[in-house]
């Protein structure tokens, strides 16, 4: 593998004015890191997890020239993990997920989920599909405490009008 300088991104909840800094895990998930890095900036409506627990995420159209393989997978993300998931339209199409019919990802054949896990005790299992492994492609190195507070506020106060954004530092 090519030795390269560390790469960092900002992850933000813009309406709340909160951000954190994450380091890309190029050594563990090089294909996914390149796909995300080359597509930045990325962002969209934020959602708080219903099943995975302490997770916020944005659902995006595919942006990689080819979908990354399941490199550096987990089903038990830890605080600060950034994860990448690929879903089909039918996987996210049931009413049990709570997405409104106007959600921007509705009608897409494939949906990319970029997620931030902000607290412990997460388990990626889904009642409809079973285990849902994600690719860990980054880790928060600064500001996780502030982001976790904002995520808790998002859980309690609601996500409408808020966006989750990923930008190069």
C-alpha of 63 from chain center: 14
**Of 122, 54, 121, 51, which Cα lies nearest the Cα of 91?**
51
For the segment 78-88, what is each residue's pLDDT rounded down to a tens digit?
A: 999 999 999 88
pLDDT at 138: 98
For the segment 120-152, what is each residue's pLDDT rounded down to a tens digit?
A: 999 999 877 789 999 999 999 999 999 999 999
**Of 24, 116, 49, which Cα lies nearest the Cα of 79?**
116
User: Domains (ranges, CATH) in the chain?
Assistant: 8-168 (2.40.100.20)
């Amino acid at each position: 593998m090519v030795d390269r300088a560390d790469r960092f991104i900002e992850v933000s909840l813009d309406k709340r004015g909160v951000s954190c800094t994450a380091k890309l895990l190029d050594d563990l998930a090089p294909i996914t890191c390149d796909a995300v890095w080359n597509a930045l900036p990325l962002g969209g409506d934020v959602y708080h997890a219903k099943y995975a627990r302490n997770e916020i995420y944005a659902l995006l159209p595919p942006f990689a020239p080819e979908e990354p393989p399941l490199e550096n997978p987990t089903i038990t993300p830890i605080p600060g993990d950034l994860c990448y998931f690929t879903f089909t339209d039918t996987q996210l199409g049931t009413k049990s997920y709570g997405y409104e019919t106007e959600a921007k990802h509705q009608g897409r054949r494939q949906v990319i989920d970029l997620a931030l896990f902000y607290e412990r005790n997460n388990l990626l299992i889904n009642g409809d599909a079973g285990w849902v492994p994600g690719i860990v492609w980054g880790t928060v190195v600064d500001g996780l405490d502030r982001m976790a507070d904002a995520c808790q506020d998002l859980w309690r106060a609601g996500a409408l009008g808020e966006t989750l954004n990923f930008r190069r530092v």
